[in-house]
Amino acid sequence: MLSRPSRLSAAALALAALSLPLAAASAAPPAIDAGPVQRDADVLRDAGVTGVAVRLDTPRGTVTARSGVGDLVTRRPVPTDGYLRLGSTTKAFVATVVLQLVGEKRLSLDRTVEQVLPGVVAGAGNDGRTITVRDLLQHTSGLSDYIYDVFPDPGARTYFADRWRAYEPEELVALAVRHEPAFPAGTRWAYSNTNYVLAGMIIEEIAGRPWEQEVRRRILRPLNLEQTDTPGTRPFLPHPHTADHQQFTAGGPMVDTTIPYRPFDSGADGSMTGTARDVNRFFTALADGRLLKPSELAAMRTTVPVPRDSGHPAGTRDGLGVFLTPLSCGGGYLGHGGSGFGYVVRTAVTTDGRRSLTVSAHSRSADPRAAARQEDALRDLVDHALCRTE
């Protein structure tokens, strides 16, 4: 369903037109054609996603689209600008706070983890003396991803058995450093949620307050992002929201996973919630320089290649808390997606900050072919929305 401006009666419209000078009336921009965004949302639904929501903000106005259902039981519609689990989109907020601390000369990207958090990263070949803050933010640390320790058996039984369990950040890091690093720090790239658990710990060590408080103080309040939250282990989304559904085995049932899996949905690597409106405002402010000084924004945008088998579109590069992805029409967009059991969120803002987009897909398939079709449809939606000129 598309958002449309409220209709005026013919008489009211005529009266309004008479009251305006001819030049002003003719200068009014035409409404944005929301049809292409809706069609792409419907393609994603037809690929098997139970519920889809899209918000595109441009200088010309906002387009929203909804497709599918808000849950599989009542078949209610997907809400407009409903609350979302942001998953790893949280990392962009955390990286922004770290870079603000760098801009304040309270931290350096070249400081090592050992210098900030003595003794935390050690053992099994892991050495905090060789891993820098930059390595954490850019996923070049080589540290093992703790999620394989907290969800070793990928099935519905494990989800229901362990979804209420919560870990302290130090516990998650301890799980990760039991494993040998994948490579020496700074030599390669591999995504690891452990990196941002450590980034959250570093914020608290340097700022003297938990990362959640710093995100609220430095980003949410200044930008008036009232619908964005750092809920920690609180499991329930505010209303309205779409239900999330995970298929754990190919051909199996869609399981309602709206309750998050706390072991990897409650920390600095992926716990935040919000709305598409707020997320777009955050990434727009990030892109246009309102949150970071020029030198720190340049550091955020300094990227390394992402391997082709990483699951990202070809040509994607990783900065500090954001990815830079090429567009088919030239140029690229910045963003950081998020996912968990039953949901995928994609965020994107053109590098000039003029067009921002958030897409949420509220189910995930266990069939690799269906998942690939959904991923292709999601990538096409983002590319079309940002490339299209009105």
Classify strands 363-364 and 245-247 as parallel, antiparallel or unpaired: parallel
pLDDT digits (tens, 9 = 90+) for 20-65: 343 333 344 556 788 999 999 999 999 999 999 999 999 999 999 9
C-alpha closest to that of 282 among 107, 55, 41: 55
**Distances from the Cα of 275 to the Cα of 87, 227, 358, angstroms:** 12, 6, 9
**Distances from the Cα of 210 to the Cα of 104, 153, 207, 230, angstroms:** 18, 31, 8, 11
Classify strands 273-275 and 83-85 as parallel, antiparallel or unpaired: antiparallel
For the chain, percent helix, then strand, then coil, each to nearest 5? 35, 15, 45
C-alpha closest to that of 336 among 243, 270, 255: 270
pLDDT digits (tens, 9 = 90+) for 161-213: 999 999 999 999 999 999 999 999 999 999 999 999 999 999 999 999 999 99
Q: What is the pLDDT of residue 153?
A: 85
Residue 362 lies in a domain: yes
Residue 190 lies in a domain: yes
C-alpha closest to that of 121 among 109, 107, 108, 135: 135
pLDDT digits (tens, 9 = 90+) for 328-378: 999 999 999 999 999 999 999 999 999 999 999 999 999 999 999 999 999
Q: Is the pLDDT of residue 218 over 60?
A: yes
Burial of 359 per CB tally in 10 Å (0-12, 13-18, 19+): buried
Q: What is the pLDDT of residue 31?
A: 62
Can the peptide bond before residue 118 be classed as cis, meaning omega within 30 degrees of 0? no
pLDDT digits (tens, 9 = 90+) for 250-273: 999 999 999 999 998 889 999 999
Residue 266 lies in a domain: yes
From the list 6, 19, 88, 271, the catalytic residue is: 88
Residue 138 lies in a domain: yes
Q: What is the pLDDT of residue 224?
A: 98
**Distances from the Cα of 293 to the Cα of 101, 106, 289, 297, 333, angstroms:** 11, 14, 7, 6, 20
CATH number at residue 318: 3.40.710.10
Q: What is the pLDDT of residue 265?
A: 86
C-alpha closest to that of 91 among 166, 177, 191, 241: 191
DSSP states of 282-296 as a string?
A: HHHHHHTTSSS-HHH
pTM: 0.91
Give the end-to-end CA distance of the chain in Å, rounded to a whole number: 20
Domain range holding 126?
33-387
Q: What is the pLDDT of residue 28?
A: 47
Count of structural domains, the chain: 1
pLDDT digits (tens, 9 = 90+) for 279-331: 999 999 999 999 999 999 999 999 999 999 899 999 999 999 999 999 999 99
Q: What is the pLDDT of residue 113?
A: 98
Q: What is the pLDDT of residue 27?
A: 46
Q: What is the pLDDT of residue 7?
A: 34
Residue 290 lies in a domain: yes
Other C-beta atoms closer than 10 Å to the C-beta of 205 total 13
DSSP states of 177-223 as a string?
A: TTSPPSS-TTS-----THHHHHHHHHHHHHHSS-HHHHHIIIIITTT
Q: What is the pLDDT of residue 30?
A: 55
Which helix (H) or strand (E) is 114 found in, with range? helix 113-116
C-alpha closest to that of 334 among 317, 316, 322, 319: 322
Q: Is the pLDDT of residue 11 over 90?
A: no
Residue 294 lies in a domain: yes
Residue 256 lies in a domain: yes
pLDDT digits (tens, 9 = 90+) for 116-162: 999 999 999 999 999 999 999 999 999 999 999 999 888 999 999 99
Q: Is 88 a catalytic residue?
A: yes
Average pLDDT score over residue span 102-113: 98
* Beta bridge pairs of residue 119: none
Token pair for residue 243? 């239900």
Count of alpha carbons within 13 Å of 181, Cβ hemisphere only? 24
Q: Is the pLDDT of residue 18 over 60?
A: no
Residue 1 lies in a domain: no
Count of alpha carbons within 13 Å of 164, Cβ hemisphere only? 2
Which helix (H) or strand (E) is 317 found in, with range? strand 317-318
